[in-house]
Amino acid sequence: MEDTTRKSKGEDIISAANSARWDLGTDFHDSIIESIYENASHIARKTVKQVGEKEAYSFDLKVDKLVTSKWLGFPMMFLVLAVVFWLTVAGANYPSGLLASLLIDTMHPILKNLAASINMPWWLDGVLIDGAYLSMAWVIAVMLPPMAIFFPIFTLLEDLGYLPRVAFNMDNLFRKAGAHGKQALTMSMGFGCNAAGVVAARVIDSPRERLIAIITNNFSLCNGRWPTQILIATIFIGAVVPASLAGVVSAGAVVGMAVLGIFFSLVVSWGLSKSVLKGEASSFSLELPPYRPPRVLQTLYTSLIDRTVIVLWRAVVFAIPAGVVIWLIANIKIGDLSLAEHFIDWSNPFALVFGLNGVILLAYIIAIPANEIVIPTILMLTVLSTNMTDVGAGSGVMFELDSIADTANVLHAGGWTLLTGINLMMFSLLHNPCSTTILTIYKETKSLKWTLVSTFLPIVLGLIVTFFTTQLWYLFTT
Amino acid sequence: MLPLLQIQPGILLLIGLAVTTLLFWFFWPMNGGLALITKLIRNNKRALLEDALKYIFDCEYNKTSCNINSLAGHLNIAMDKATQLLNRLTTLELVTLNNQSVALTDDGRSYALRIVRIHRIWERYLADQTSVAPADWHHEADRIEHVVSKEETERLAAQMGNPVFDPHGDPIPTAEGQLPKHRGVRLNTLQEGEMGRITHLEDEPRSIYEQLVVLDLYPGMQVYVTDVTDKKITFVAHGEECILTPLFAGYITVEKLSKEETQAPKQELLSSLKIGENAEVLGISPNCRGSQRRRLMDLGIVPGSKVSAVIKSASGDPVGYRILGTTIGIRKQHADQVFINRKN
């Protein structure tokens, strides 16, 4: 009895409180919080004394005015980015060659001999050494040096305080696309590695803008795709202009692809923020921290461990099974043809509509673990499917040729034209992220839906773009 | 040659265009193919029933009459369909029919209140936490209210601190189904020289609500009526003069204020501060809500703190403001919602 009266009293109080809240109006929560903040800052102003802060800031302000000035801001930004890329590409060349000669030219024959000396069956030797080992070796040789250069430089710039200023300058563009200014940072990070770019999206505190940055990061041409772009541009685009201009034109084509990627990243951001993502949580602010001398050693250590090693490890883990698959499909035969040849023949009609070919499709499917092995895989598959006997290292063994002219010969023999080259460049820009990035997206978003969107959206875009390029090409050339 | 390639490039191009358009249409959110299909599959009957209950409840709350004609008109359905719907509602014992007028039973009322609560909580969420445009809050919530569960909504409400008003100023019913009595007067009943505070903007029809949003009107704003004629009502809101027809003004509900309660009308905005100028923060506009508002306060934008504009982005938009010893980039759209007092 007593219990029920107590309960009804409690309910009375709750309903009285509820109606009191209606009388208070909409903004009483805010006014309470506001007055707390106000009191706190009042107390702080009374009691905290600042010594010497002004001097330090006036220097920062001078630098800030320069870095964000209307005329110097953007040129400076492009210059810094260009230097970072140049350092990465030029600096990685030598160690990459060294690693390749060590892991591929030296270690591979040694392992083959070792396998032969213990009488390993040919198929086991093929799967393990030609497949798994070789693909792992490729990934390490091509991926490790650029990452080990790019990430520390990038982290140093971040530490120095320059990157927040880049975001500050670029914000206007990203605001118009419905995204966050800091997406400029994750985008530049993506030029190094998309998986690292996706992780870097953590700096964006608003969930909606962060998701946009994650989904569109793949449109930044990553380190693994630069070599493909450069090689194909040299072979096919450089060849249509006089030799004296070839270098400039093919470099221009690669930069054009990167710019096209930025364009797609902005357009897709805009599309997403106007449609599916407009209902997601959103807010904006951008802190511009004071400039600090970077802690070089610490930065080197953390960027090597956190970014390079982790990303490389994930790539290697995925590359090993991919190598096994590559060897197996090139060597398992049904009838007279290997599995790879069956797939190439079967998918060729479909691929040709998009100006690609079966070899490219197959290479992109089995090279999902790492974009770095696309070119070796394409070469191997082309040799396999055209039955060339004088080049290559045997079926299922990935290889790269020393001279660009030899590579060009193999590709031309495989029926490649200028159109195929252009389409491959486009498809290399617009296709699914590598498996490392897909896994990272899943880990960062914890959502299967957004992982699938980030995976398939670029493929669909890539197919649309290559289709229209091809059909318009045919329309105007025939 | 392969059969697929024997098709003329031009025709293939057209086919490609058609397929791409179809693909875009299919995946377009809101009114694309996929959305339409899910809309059809989703319990359409339930949506109609709930919308009807909501409408009848609205009529009761605003003390207007409700009959089958107005119901059919509001839901945009044919008369015979409206009759079927009402019959179904009566068999479910949610409404009673008395001559021509329709009334809710107790069950019907609590069902309606539940839907109204879900609708308004989601409107609050959309306004506070997302970048959905003001004119879309109502429609988006209209769509969501039929698909979310009560539990999901309660979780969301708890997360937002159990709000009591939706962004248009409508009270949100409690989980027990309580709602305060309708209060306030319509703006077109105010006389010259009278003051009021906007408590509610009617969100339907959309075209009228969009107009009110364009004028930057929002609940919590103070208005001062300066001129009333048959054709138009002139009033000052936040120092800006607005002119509305009596029809439009009828969609705004205000609470009358006495003269003493009023604040200084016109305030300067943070965005008007030029590089190198100093000012003191007076407050953040009630129109800036939720996480963005908290973010600004976290950064130290509270009444009394000193702020100065220091740098401008190379592209012109975010301006760097010096607040509490830190430089913070704030976009113009947000700087527009901070009131300041320039120091001499």
pLDDT of residue A344: 87
Determine, yes or no, domain membership for A55.
no
More confident residue, A27 or A323: A323
Q: What angle do CA A154, A400, A407 make, to 5 degrees?
A: 110
* pLDDT greater than 50 at residue B1: no
pLDDT of residue A179: 87
* pLDDT greater than 60 at residue B177: yes
Are residues B276 and B323 both part of a single domain?
yes
pLDDT, one tens digit per residue, over A309-343 is 877 887 788 788 888 888 888 888 888 788 888 88
Contacts for A98-106: CB closer than 8 Å, 24+ residues apart: A99/A140, A99/A141, A99/A144, A99/A145, A100/A137, A100/A141, A100/A142, A103/A137, A103/A140, A103/A141, A104/A134, A104/A137, A104/A138, A104/A141
Minimum distance, in Å, between the CA of residue B330 and any CA atom of chain A: 6
pLDDT of residue B36: 74
| Percent of chain A whose predicted confidence (pLDDT) is above 70 | 93
- Contact at CB, B130 and A208, closer than 8 angstroms: yes
pLDDT, one tens digit per residue, over A250-298 is 888 888 898 899 999 999 999 888 877 776 666 778 888 888 888 888 8
- Domain termination residue (choose one: B130, B154, B181): B181
* pLDDT greater than 60 at residue A89: yes
What is the overall mean pLDDT for chain A? 83
Query: What confidence category does residue B241 fall into, taking pLDDT thresholds of 50, 70 and 90?
Result: confident
pLDDT, one tens digit per residue, over B51-67 is 888 888 888 877 777 77
Determine, yes or no, domain membership for A374.
yes
Cβ–Cβ < 8 Å for A299, A155:
yes
Determine, yes or no, domain membership for B136.
yes
pLDDT of residue A212: 92
For B328, which of A34, A287, A472 is closest by C-beta distance? A287
A403 to chain B, any CB pair closer than 8 A? The answer is no
- A-B CB pairs within 8 A amount to 183
Query: Which chain B residue is nearest to residue A72, measuring alpha carbons?
Result: B314
Determine, yes or no, domain membership for B36.
no
Are residues B273 and B293 both part of a single domain?
yes
* pLDDT greater than 90 at residue B129: no
Are residues B103 and B52 both part of a single domain?
yes
More confident residue, A428 or B298: A428
- Contact at CB, A64 and B311, closer than 8 angstroms: yes
Cβ–Cβ < 8 Å for A413, A288:
no
Determine, yes or no, domain membership for A13.
no
Are residues B90 and B159 both part of a single domain?
yes
Determine, yes or no, domain membership for B100.
yes
Determine, yes or no, domain membership for A18.
no
Query: Which of A37, A54, A272 to mutate: most B Cβ within 10 Å?
Result: A37
- Contact at CB, A285 and B313, closer than 8 angstroms: no
Determine, yes or no, domain membership for A29.
no
Are residues B192 and B141 both part of a single domain?
no
Query: What confidence category does residue B132 fall into, taking pLDDT thresholds of 50, 70 and 90?
Result: confident
Query: Which of B131, B132, B162, B299 to mutate: most A Cβ within 10 Å?
Result: B131
pLDDT of residue A67: 85
For A475, which of B10, B178, B296 is closest by C-beta distance? B10
Determine, yes or no, domain membership for A442.
yes
Q: How far is CA A176 from CA A171, A212, A293, in A?
A: 9, 13, 33
* pLDDT greater than 80 at residue B267: no
- The residue segments making up the domain with residue B240 are 185-261
Are residues B47 and B177 both part of a single domain?
yes
In degrees and rounded to multiples of 5, residue B191 shows phi and psi of: -100, 165
pLDDT of residue B344: 54
- Domain termination residue (choose one: B246, B261, B276): B261
* pLDDT greater than 90 at residue A35: no
Query: What confidence category does residue A135 fall into, taking pLDDT thresholds of 50, 70 and 90?
Result: confident
CATH number of the domain that residue B67 is part of: 1.10.10.10
Are residues B71 and B167 both part of a single domain?
yes
Structure tokens at B292: 């963005």
pLDDT, one tens digit per residue, over B85-116 is 888 888 888 888 777 777 888 888 888 888 88
Query: What confidence category does residue A218 fall into, taking pLDDT thresholds of 50, 70 and 90?
Result: very high
In degrees and rounded to multiples of 5, residue B307 shows phi and psi of: -140, 145
Overall number of domains in chain B: 4
Q: Which residues of B touch A168 (CB under 8 A)?
A: 311, 313, 318, 320, 329
Query: Which chain A residue is nearest to residue B167, measuring alpha carbons?
Result: A26
Query: Percent helix, strand and coil across chain B, each rounded to 5?
Result: 45, 20, 35
More confident residue, A253 or A24: A253
Determine, yes or no, domain membership for A60.
no
More confident residue, B79 or A438: A438
What is the overall mean pLDDT for chain B? 80
For B13, which of A60, A283, A471 is closest by C-beta distance? A471
Query: Which chain A residue is nearest to residue B329, measuring alpha carbons?
Result: A286
Q: How far is CA B196 from CA B123, B224, B246, B256, in A?
A: 24, 7, 16, 4
Q: Which residues of B touch A33 (CB under 8 A)?
A: 294, 297
CATH number of the domain that residue B338 is part of: 2.30.30.90
Are residues B134 and B164 both part of a single domain?
yes
For residue A333, what are the β-bridge partners? Answer: A338
Q: How far is CA A220 from CA A194, A201, A258, A463, B151, in A?
A: 7, 13, 7, 18, 41
Query: What confidence category does residue A50 fall into, taking pLDDT thresholds of 50, 70 and 90?
Result: low
Q: Which residues of A touch B131 (CB under 8 A)?
A: 178, 208, 273, 278, 280, 282
Q: Which of A400-414, B33-47, B92-106 has the lowest mean pLDDT?
A: B33-47
Using CB atoms within 10 Å of the CB of residue A137, give its burial: 0 to 12 exposed, 13 to 18 middle, 19+ buried: buried
Query: What confidence category does residue A2 fall into, taking pLDDT thresholds of 50, 70 and 90?
Result: low
More confident residue, A48 or B340: B340
Q: Which residues of A touch B329 (CB under 8 A)?
A: 167-168, 171, 181, 285-288
Minimum distance, in Å, between the CA of residue B34 and any CA atom of chain A: 13
More confident residue, A163 or B75: A163
Determine, yes or no, domain membership for A221.
yes
Query: What confidence category does residue A213 fall into, taking pLDDT thresholds of 50, 70 and 90?
Result: very high
Overall number of domains in chain A: 1
pLDDT of residue A466: 92
Nearest to B336 by CA among B269, B291, B286: B269
Residue A419's CB is within 10 A of a number of other CB atoms, namely 17
Max avg pLDDT among B45-54, B68-77, B156-165, B308-317: B308-317
- The residue segments making up the domain with residue A214 are 73-279+298-477
pLDDT, one tens digit per residue, over B22-33 is 888 877 766 677
Are residues B104 and B76 both part of a single domain?
yes
Query: Which chain B residue is nearest to residue A77, measuring alpha carbons?
Result: B314
